[in-house]
Amino acid sequence: MVYLLALGVLAGPAYTMYVHYDFSHSLDTRSYLSMARGEFRDASVTRRYRVLVPAAAAAIAWPLEQVYARIWSQRAATDWPLRLAFYVLNTLLMAGTGLVLYETSRLYGASPPAAALAVVAVLCSRWAVYTSGLPLVDSLYILVFALAFYAARSGSGAALVPVLLLGWLAKESFVFLVPWLLLFGRRALPWPAQVAWLLLGAALAFGVRYWIDARIGAPPAASVQNALNHVENLSYSLRRLLSVKGAGEIFSVFGFFWLALLLGWRRGKRPSWLGQLGWPGGAFVAVVVVHMLLSSDLGRMGYLAAPVFAVAFALVLTQQLGVKQLALDSTIESTI
């Protein structure tokens, strides 16, 4: 039910984004569309190795092209089937993130209705709609972050393994999440097992890089230099973060839902949800801040903090507003 709720929240707004978005000014989306067609030469070195989502979208697009050829023959040879495939895939992945956030909030003690409302709050973000409706790869990376936070709390090795295995291919900045996983993910998998899966994931990522570089004749050093160039974003990102515009960009990540967190600050006391999130939650947010500073895209990277925000929001609803299971039960009974 929670997964269907997440799909329902996302599908409509993301469809509008998929249909009406202007691709002429978006280098990201054009790069990923090219990669899905197997064209890597013109893709930015920042993006060309994130192949999982484009490859999966290409597989989904093939049967869609057959349908388009019968119904809208004029669109069959265009990007429409591929764009639709990205929309379907990204929406499904983001709905999966919603389900993981729900289960994580429940593990922290939130009531089912509060956890469900937290999922709605997170998926109402403009970045969730943007990620779901467009040819982008952020959906997988957001799911990786959600699974990592869930695995650390639940102790689930099954949830942590795909994080360690696919994180490198999802985005190169996964390297900044690795220390957090090694420190707080030990309940799910001990260090030796984590390192083994990390090395296997790194080997897969290296193999993909080698294959792509060999195919297009790109020097391997180019990707290393590109990674180092991101350090230059630090000063720009800091100035932007401390500006009025930067504050507005951060506020827009979760919008007015941020205000619910203020309910926990009463009479100068530290809110209980802050203590419940503890060092794992604080360190997780620190990893997200590193992503924000290095990318210069504050809002988009700030959305990676969704697991922490969802838990905090759900706990505020449970503890401060009394959104508990009994309230839901009485509402259901009154409508029967």
- What is the domain extent for residue 32? 2-335
d(CA 101, CA 106): 9
| DSSP string across 87-112 | HHHHHHHHHHHHHHHHHHHHHTT--H
Per-residue model confidence (pLDDT) at position 239:
79
Per-residue model confidence (pLDDT) at position 233:
67
- Per the structure, the count of domains in the chain is 1
Per-residue model confidence (pLDDT) at position 221:
61
Buried-state track 49-70, b at ≥16 Cβ within 10 A, e below 16: bbbebbebbbebbeebbeebee
In contact, 239 and 245? CB cutoff 8 Å: no
CA proximity to 6, closest of 79, 136, 105 = 105
Mean pLDDT by 10 residues, the chain (336 residues): 95 92 80 91 85 96 81 69 94 98 97 96 95 95 98 97 96 95 96 96 94 83 57 72 84 91 72 89 96 87 97 92 56 36
Per-residue model confidence (pLDDT) at position 265:
73
70: its two tokens = 């019968």
Per-residue model confidence (pLDDT) at position 74:
64
Per-residue model confidence (pLDDT) at position 330:
41
Per-residue model confidence (pLDDT) at position 224:
57
Where do the DSSP E strands lie in 181-311? none
Per-residue model confidence (pLDDT) at position 77:
59
CB count in 10 Å sphere of residue 176: 16
